[in-house]
Structure 1
Amino acid sequence: MDQRKGILLESGTNELEIVEFSIGKNKFGINVIKVKEIINPVQVIPIPHSHRNIDGIIELRGEVLPVVNVAASLGMQSSENPQQDKFIVTEFNQQKVVFHVHGVSQIHRISWNQIEKPSEMYQGPDTQVIGVIKLQGEMVLLLDFEKMVTEINPDSGISIQKVQKLGKRERSDTRLVVAEDSPLLRKLLHDTLNEAGFSNIEFFENGQEAYGYLESLAQSGCSISQEVQLIITDIEMPQMDGHHLTKKVKEHPQLSAIPIIIFSSLITDDLRHKGKMVGADAQVSKPEIAELVLLIDQYA
């Protein structure tokens, strides 16, 4: 797994690898960069009065980790063959979480532009699906694992309270561009950045839409520095990821001077290297919104 990650980290392309897993007959995916290892189920210790989506806790090499039941999170049936289930051990948002799934099949390497945004017709407000991938005549649904964890533990997400601890702040005229695919996080970022004094924000659902907007500004002949003072981008997004967006902006003669902050659950030592490689000015791990605000002050 680590060797495969290393190959991806050096690629510099708009690509990712996903681990395909199943819940019942449905196929789902998780970014391989989030995955530490995949193990057979071990003894789970139930925790009284815990969240309904938590199976309990396990001990793995001296660490006590929570086990999230993905089927329960998705409102689906329990496994018919629990002895064949798998535990996916993950790390993101500066925490380790185990996801209980019904089976793991294979790893696919794909481009972000193969991932389609879910249609609003079937995407309700509580959906966990952030992308649809067509593979070998089947559909694999990419899930929002950050949302799963935040629904269980709201304190693990972005909160206005973290910004309020910075104290009273003046209103800012700074113009921001934000690329973030999660509707939940776009709303949270809107509210927290407004609380921090930033109200001139253009939100985009993926890197491709954000780049299209920036490129249209460059082609219009306007002063880029007056229209956009800073870009904030997630990494995982359909169509174009944040690393590819950063690379394209930094290679564009009229856009390259705009500071870019990568704000992602995937900020690790290895991914900081990749962010630096494509020219990011700063990188912050979700949900450290207060640190993001201080960096906006610094770079904008």
Structure 2
Amino acid sequence: MQEHKGILLESGTNELEIVEFEVGNSKFGINVIKVKEIIQPIAITYIPHAHPHVEGIIQLRGEVLPVVDMFKALGLPPHTQNAQEKFIVAEFNKQTVVFHVGNVTQIHRFSWEQIEKPSDMYQGGNSQIIGVIKHLGEMILLLDFEKIMVDINPESGINVEAVKKLGKRERSEKKIVIAEDSPLLRKLLSDTLSEAGYVNLEFFENGKLAYDYLESIATENDDIEKHVQFVITDIEMPQMDGHHLTKKIKSHPVLSKLPIVIFSSLITDDLRHKGDQVGALDQISKPEIAELILKIDRHIL
């Protein structure tokens, strides 16, 4: 896995690579970018009164890491030990965590256009599924790992208290367009940005919808900055990811003037160059909401 991660996809191609794994009888996917390594299970130290989804902790190369039981996290029947079980060591949102899964099968490359948004009918309001991939007659479900971790530790998510520490804020009518696929994150961003005084917000659940909206404005108005002052985008989104969205905006004769900040759990030293290549003004790691707000302040007030 470490060697494979060295082959980074070209910036802005709207592609991703996923590690396919199994929990129970279902197949799930995690972005390769999030995966540090995959290891055989090792001894877990039980932690009294830990969250029910946390099996305990392990020590890996001197680092103490929590182990999340994905069977419990996904509401599936308890697993029985088998030789195929794996630990997926993942890093995102400036944290490292181990996911205990039934098996890891293979790595796939897909276009974000192949990934369908889950239907509201079956995903419910508390869904952990952000995308569905049809592959060889089966379905691979992309999981919202950020939500799984926020459910376990709410303090690891975007916190409105961080905004209150910035002091008294003036109300701003400047228009901000936000592309974010997670309903939880859209709600948290709405709450925190509104608390910061930014109330003129337009949310889209993927990059394609955001781009279509911006392009429709640009078609009728040469001066886009009179109508939209700032764009915020996640990276991982069905249909069109944040890198591809940024690349298209920066390649557009009218939209290219817009400042774009990538706000994602995937901001690492290894990946920062991808956002730079597509023209992002800045890249900020979730959940650093105060840093995001200060960046907006500097560019649109």
Contact 2:11-2:275 within 8 A present in 1 as well: no
Separation in structure 1 between the aligned mates of residue 20 and residue 135 of structure 2, nearest angstrom: 11
Q: What's the offset of the Cα at 1:222?
A: 5.7
Written as runs of structure 1 = structure 2, the 5 A alignment for 1:186-201 is: 186-201=186-201
Matched residue, 2:294: 294
Separation in structure 2 between the aligned mates of residue 153 and residue 82 of structure 1, nearest angstrom: 29
SS of the equivalent of 1:298 reads helix
Q: Deviations over 1:199-242 (max 9, x none)?
A: 00100000000000001001123631111101000000000000
Task: Indicate yes or no: 2:246 matched with 1:249.
Answer: no
Q: Which runs of 4+ in 1 moved over 6 A?
A: none
Matched residue, 1:169: 169
* Structure 1, gaps ≥5 residues long: none
TM-score (norm 2): 0.98
Separation in structure 2 between the aligned mates of residue 90 and residue 217 of structure 1, nearest angstrom: 39
Structure 2 counterpart of 1:52, one-letter code: P
Q: What's the offset of the Cα at 1:8?
A: 2.8
Matched residue, 1:128: 128
Contact 2:162-2:289 within 8 A present in 1 as well: yes
Separation in structure 2 between the aligned mates of residue 280 and residue 8 of structure 1, nearest angstrom: 18
Contact 2:11-2:277 within 8 A present in 1 as well: no
Matched residue, 1:23: 23
Matched residue, 2:271: 271
Q: What's the offset of the Cα at 1:79?
A: 2.1
Separation in structure 2 between the aligned mates of residue 203 and residue 150 of structure 1, nearest angstrom: 21
Q: Deviations over 1:106-156 (max 9, x none)?
A: 000000111000001101111110000001110000000000001100000
Written as runs of structure 1 = structure 2, the 5 A alignment for 1:135-146 is: 135-146=135-146
Residue range with higher mean Cα deviation, 114-123 or 81-90: 81-90
Structure 1 counterpart of 2:236, one-letter code: E
Separation in structure 2 between the aligned mates of residue 123 and residue 23 of structure 1, nearest angstrom: 18
Task: Indicate yes or no: 2:232 matched with 1:232.
Answer: yes
* Structure 2, gaps ≥5 residues long: none
Written as runs of structure 1 = structure 2, the 5 A alignment for 1:30-69 is: 30-69=30-69
SS of the equivalent of 1:122 reads helix
Matched residue, 1:150: 150
Separation in structure 2 between the aligned mates of residue 251 and residue 4 of structure 1, nearest angstrom: 30
SS of the equivalent of 1:7 reads coil
SS of the equivalent of 1:173 reads coil
Separation in structure 1 between the aligned mates of residue 3 and residue 37 of structure 2, nearest angstrom: 13
Separation in structure 1 between the aligned mates of residue 11 and residue 209 of structure 2, nearest angstrom: 22
TM-score (norm 1): 0.98
Task: Indicate yes or no: 2:118 matched with 1:114.
Answer: no
Q: What's the offset of the Cα at 1:288?
A: 0.2
Contact 1:9-1:270 within 8 A present in 2 as well: no
Contact 1:177-1:201 within 8 A present in 2 as well: yes
SS of the equivalent of 1:82 reads coil
Q: Deviations over 1:47-88 (max 9, x none)?
A: 000000000000000000000011101100122343421000
Separation in structure 2 between the aligned mates of residue 148 and residue 255 of structure 1, nearest angstrom: 35
Percent identical pairs in the alignment equals 67
How many residue pairs end up in the alignment? 300
Residue range with higher mean Cα deviation, 5-14 or 92-101: 5-14
Q: What's the offset of the Cα at 1:258?
A: 0.1
Written as runs of structure 1 = structure 2, the 5 A alignment for 1:68-87 is: 68-87=68-87
Q: What's the offset of the Cα at 1:9?
A: 3.8
Separation in structure 1 between the aligned mates of residue 250 and residue 5 of structure 2, nearest angstrom: 24
Structure 1 counterpart of 2:197, one-letter code: G
Q: What's the offset of the Cα at 1:173?
A: 1.7
Matched residue, 1:105: 105
Separation in structure 1 between the aligned mates of residue 261 and residue 239 of structure 2, nearest angstrom: 19
Structure 2 counterpart of 1:170, one-letter code: E
Matched residue, 2:92: 92
SS of the equivalent of 2:71 reads helix
Separation in structure 2 between the aligned mates of residue 273 and residue 9 of structure 1, nearest angstrom: 12
Structure 2 counterpart of 1:273, one-letter code: H
